Structure 1
Amino acid sequence: MITSAELQELLTSIRNNYGYDFTEYAEASAARRVQHYMRTNRVNSIQELSKSLLTDENAFAQFVLEFTVNVTEMFRDPTFYKSLRENVLKHLATYPVIKIWIAGCSTGEEVYSTAILLKEEGLLDRSVIYATDINQRALQTAKDGIYRMDLMKAYTSNYQKAGGKNSFSDYYTAKYDSAMVDKSLKQNVVFSIHNLAVDSSFNEFQLILCRNVLIYFNQKLQNRVINLFYDSLSPFGFLALGSKESLLFSDKQKEFTDIDKREKIYRKKIKPATKT
């Protein structure tokens, strides 16, 4: 076990040395991830870990990979994607250009799930998806768009439950034990490094998806990120969070309208103009 003080000292040292700020991550989650890294890499003490990470950039790169990667799959939580199709895309269709930010895109499964929805609704050609993550290796996997073939059965089931209109196999090519996503799903995607803990807004979006990421942050960082998303949304833009996340403790809670409470889809309100 590592103490709270030891954990904060390690995360502060990482921030000062590399600029990666994990100090506002939820403590219990951060501690579990650090301890998991120590077990799998046979590191015996927090002191040994600190020395390794601060003197060996390769070890630190591996640490970031294991510390930040999130479990994901295509069309995870199918009812969410069904709601997105039915309640959000019809509004996005009114824009000449649709800009979407998938924050914390991990290895890309959510990116391609969203691209498939847009394609089936005839919106992909005039959409730009900005897919960002702090984890460079996960981001490279997302760019490659190559996944294990043995996962496709579960992904196909998710797709069908999400109201898929075609055969899921239309969207990938099987090669040996891998499945490569169709090139058409990549054409309008921009992959980029972005750290939600410290980086600022970089565009205006009609839809932001950040699902199952905020659960790893403490309340202070969650609030910062929600404010970042609010500032990044266009008038009446949509925000989608994960099933265990909400706006409940955010100071922007009253600035959003519930579109689907169960699926955590919200729409930005517009403040009335003040009279002069």
Structure 2
Amino acid sequence: MNSITLGQKFQLPWQAGSRLLLRAASLAACIALWQWVSSAHVDLGVITFRNLPSPTDVVEAARLLIESPKLASHLAASLTRVFAGFFAAALVGIALGLAIGRSRWCADMLLPPLEMLRPIPAVAWIPLAILMFPSSEMSMIYITFIGALFPILLNTIHGVEAVDRRLIASARSLGGGRRAVFTEVILPAAAPGIVTGLAIGMGTAWFCLVTAEMISGQFGIGYYTWASYTIQNYPDIVVGMLFIGVFGMGSSALLKKAGDALMPWYLPERK
């Protein structure tokens, strides 16, 4: 194990503390800038902050939402939709990505239509989602599924295609069959790319939440954010955005941590 890897695994307490302090200072600077532009009603012509709620307004709106009994219903609805769509996308995306990455025939058959569908934004799927699914709940899950699918799919394909061919040839020369090569060489080598795709897909699923909950529904953080906009309740809009950001960041970070725990052989180098 080289010195870089040792330094990454065993950070001194003052190093960890300085990194935490730097991150806290960065966040504090952003909040201070937000407070200034909102309280000073900065108007730059191209962009204006006259109607931007201040951090104190947002904190008060967040307090009221946290104390409201509707918060649990909003969170339960959004978490169900996001994770249902994400896990379906993970199953389909990884399976298709492994097939396309390993088989030229599958790539020729499946990749062209998938590449055609990939640039279509989630909001454009709303009319078809309403037509295809009998319930609005399934329509909303489908929107989050579409949002998460393509990052997982493409990262899986790239992970498989990036496997060193010499490793595959060595495994075959040692008598490894197709199944052994796939499970013991290709999957471990492609796993970092797959985990990265899962983390990006989770963030994209949360990104598509507002779009999904525009379809229908009485509960959900995305619905709460959109409803706040329609009644021009500006602090609540920011509260909804922050909830989505925090949950999206947290779930993506958990996926990365789980991936690191399951891949002890992989440790990216960071300067």
Task: Give the TM interval when normalised to the shorter protein.
Answer: under 0.3
Pick the structure with greater CA Rg: 2
* Larger helix proportion of the pair: 2
Which structure ranks higher in relative contact order (CA pairs < 8 Å, sequence separation ≥ 6)? 2
* Larger strand proportion of the pair: 1
> TM-score, normalised on structure 2?
0.23
